Amino acid sequence: MTRETARRSGRLAGWDYAGDGAYFVTICTHAREVLFGEIVDGVANMNAFGDVAKACWMSLPSHFPHVEIDAFVVMPNHVHGILMFHRAAESGSRDVGARHALPLRQAPAGFGKPQAGSLGTVIGAFKSATARHINMLRDVEGGPVWQRSYYDHIIRDERDLNHCRQYIITNPARHEERRHHTNGIT
């Protein structure tokens, strides 16, 4: 068995990651390196690399018109964000917000392979753009910036959406609280 076939997908089988949906996403830096700044008094203070990550995230809708940005935070070694996919927006109508009890949809043929406009493609574009810009700033060619994969959670309803938003908004304060309880080790 090769490494590729042994690796398991964290994606939900049967879910169409290119269709309408809302996603909570966490993307960690390579080796969880503190790369984007620091937390001071419960506030995320970004450095130039953190500014790049934020700018690339905020530009996603200009590259993927079906994607809407919701809550987002850059932490010292990861980012959290909510992305809303609205395929209907491409044809002019827009259903804003999470819906109650979203049904599982059939995955398109070739599940696991990159699909245009899918969550994996959007995250891949974000990771590629930030890595390219950050590596230019640090004068490193092809240096790793991100871990290989990312975490996603399919947001199923308004309650779940509000919980994810609250988690993102309060993450800097919780990060500092954890640091104090672990004698500076996070």
- The pLDDT tens digits of the residues spanning 107-166 come to 444 445 668 899 999 999 999 999 999 999 999 999 999 999 999 999 999 999 999 999
CB contact at 8 A, 179 and 186: yes
What pLDDT does 181 receive? Answer: 56
For residue 97, give its domain range. Answer: 10-181
Q: Is residue 148 part of a domain?
A: yes
pTM of the model: 0.80
Domain containing residue 130: CATH number: 3.30.70.1290
Which token pair is 52? Answer: 């790049």
CB contact at 8 A, 104 and 36: no
Sequence-distant (6+) residues with CB within 8 A of 63 are 125
Pairing of strands 151-155, 21-28: antiparallel
**Which run of H or E residues covers position 29?**
none
Number of domains the chain contains: 1
Which token pair is 9? Answer: 């997908």
Higher pLDDT residue, 49 or 87? 49
CA distance 23 to 72: 12
CA distance 73 to 171: 8
Least confident of 53-67, 79-93, 170-184: 170-184
**Which run of H or E residues covers position 38?**
strand 37-40
Amino acid at site 59: S
Q: Is residue 4 part of a domain?
A: no
